[in-house]
């Protein structure tokens, strides 16, 4: 049975004539709510095409572990797909704590987060519940997850996946807690909501255009015209 909120969004999705959501070439259904695209041998995009924002999370793998960058809305079984696809231990993290990116974060055993004072202040009895100003769940009646942070990641930290290194980048602008992951060797940048195909969004309570400008300048220095950039709402 479809999730009631998911059902309400179907009419707002771009549907194929058959009544099914139209998938792009190279994208295949995993189950009735999730779709997968194999970006390369070590990277899989996990999309929620039936949800009107059409979120995309990324499973980024090395030889020792994998990272799931964003965990979905909670309306679909993203953890089930991750566990089926990953060949080793999985670390969950998020590009930021808006409700459509952390819906399943509490279903992962190991969660690593960007080390920010806003996150640290939200910890109670060793458990973190995203602050409402960062989560915005009441906009769509989305519950806030509660989870334990296994590791704090400072800006510039390197995540070693085994044969693959990801650099942690704090990119405020869309929201104060924006975090990107940059695979320097593969020249792949995972940016969450910091970039959209249609423009920049900084209207949320913790969004800031000045921060956006500074973060964009930082990315321009780090990346090149050949950098592959993967966003959360294509």
Secondary structure element (H or E) that encloses residue 209, with its range: helix 209-222
Backbone φ/ψ region at 125: left (φ over 0), alpha (ψ -120 to 50), beta: left
Find the mean pLDDT for residues 202-210: 93
Find the mean pLDDT for residues 69-95: 97
Is residue 101 a contact partner of residue 194, using CB atoms and an 8 Å limit?
A: no
56 band by pLDDT with thresholds 50, 70 and 90: very high
1 band by pLDDT with thresholds 50, 70 and 90: very low
- Residue 112 is predicted with a pLDDT of 98
203 band by pLDDT with thresholds 50, 70 and 90: confident
Helices and strands per DSSP (H, E), number in the chain: 5, 15
> DSSP letter string over 150-194?
-EEE-TT-EEE-SS-EEEEEE--SSSTT-EEEEETTTTEEEEETS
Share of residues in the chain with pLDDT > 90 (%)? 85
CA 75 to CA 73: how far, in whole Å? 5
Is residue 233 a contact partner of residue 56, using CB atoms and an 8 Å limit?
A: yes
Domains of the chain with bracketed CATH: 4-164 (3.60.15.10)
Asked whether residue 129 carries a pLDDT value surpassing 90, the answer given is: yes
């Amino acid at each position: 049975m479809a999730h009631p909120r998911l059902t309400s969004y179907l009419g707002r999705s771009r549907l194929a004539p058959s009544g099914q959501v139209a998938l792009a070439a190279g994208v295949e259904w995993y189950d009735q709510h999730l779709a997968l695209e194999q970006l390369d041998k070590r990277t899989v995009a996990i999309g929620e095409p039936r949800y009107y924002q059409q979120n995309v999370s990324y499973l980024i793998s090395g030889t020792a572990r994998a990272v799931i960058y964003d965990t979905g809305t909670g309306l679909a079984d993203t953890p089930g797909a991750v566990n089926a696809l990953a060949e080793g231990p999985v670390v969950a993290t998020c590009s930021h704590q808006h409700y459509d990116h952390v819906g399943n974060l509490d279903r992962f055993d190991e969660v690593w987060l960007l080390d920010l004072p806003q996150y640290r202040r939200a910890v109670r009895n060793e458990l973190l519940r995203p602050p409402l100003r960062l989560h915005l769940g009441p906009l769509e009646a989305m519950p806030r997850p509660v989870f334990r942070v296994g590791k704090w990641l400072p800006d510039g930290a390197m995540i070693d996946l085994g044969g693959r290194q990801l650099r942690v980048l704090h990119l405020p602008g869309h929201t104060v807690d924006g975090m990107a992951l940059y695979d320097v060797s593969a020249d792949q940048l995972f940016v969450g909501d910091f970039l959209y195909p249609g423009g920049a969004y900084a209207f949320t309570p913790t969004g800031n255009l000045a921060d956006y400008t500074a973060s964009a300048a930082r990315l321009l220095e780090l990346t090149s015209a050949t950098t592959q950039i993967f966003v959360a709402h294509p």
